[in-house]
């Protein structure tokens, strides 16, 4: 079950990258991957048992990660991380957290909750 709804994504978060027909699937996938990044602590505790601050950050992280995965998903599992042609060079280096490739924005949102800390 996704931690946010399509209405939250569009209205509260202001998301507009993911087409309507893919929103629910992307949010579900993003929620599952956020669970991996947080060592399944959200599932164990229950999202409603988190503080309001933690819930807000998790929801924003799910939306940001869903956007990131939708935009860059096809490139994340490529064996090439960079490309050069003459004087033009392009490199792609996502952040990895809990085996999940994501953006710095997502990890910064989740780190602030304390849920990514291995010591918990």
Q: What is the pLDDT of residues 57-89, one digit of tens each?
A: 999 999 999 999 999 887 676 556 666 788 887
Rounded Cα–Cα distance for residues 105 and 120 (Å): 22
Whole-angstrom distance, CA of residue 95 vs CA of residue 57 = 18
Whether the per-residue pLDDT at 9 is higher than 60: the answer is yes
Return the higher-pLDDT residue of 119 and 9: 9
pLDDT of residue 80: 60
pTM comes to 0.86
User: Where in the chain are the domains?
Assistant: 6-111
């Amino acid at each position: 079950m996704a931690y946010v709804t399509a209405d939250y994504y569009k209205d509260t978060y202001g998301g507009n990258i993911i087409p309507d027909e893919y929103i629910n699937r992307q949010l579900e996938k993003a929620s599952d991957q956020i669970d991996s990044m947080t060592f399944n602590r959200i599932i164990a505790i229950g999202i409603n048992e988190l503080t309001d601050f933690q819930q807000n950050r998790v929801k924003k992280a799910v939306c940001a990660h869903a956007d990131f995965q939708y935009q860059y998903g096809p490139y994340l599992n490529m064996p090439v991380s960079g490309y050069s042609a003459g004087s033009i060079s392009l490199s792609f280096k996502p952040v990895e957290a809990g085996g999940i490739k994501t953006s710095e924005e997502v990890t910064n949102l989740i780190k602030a909750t304390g849920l990514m800390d291995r010591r918990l």
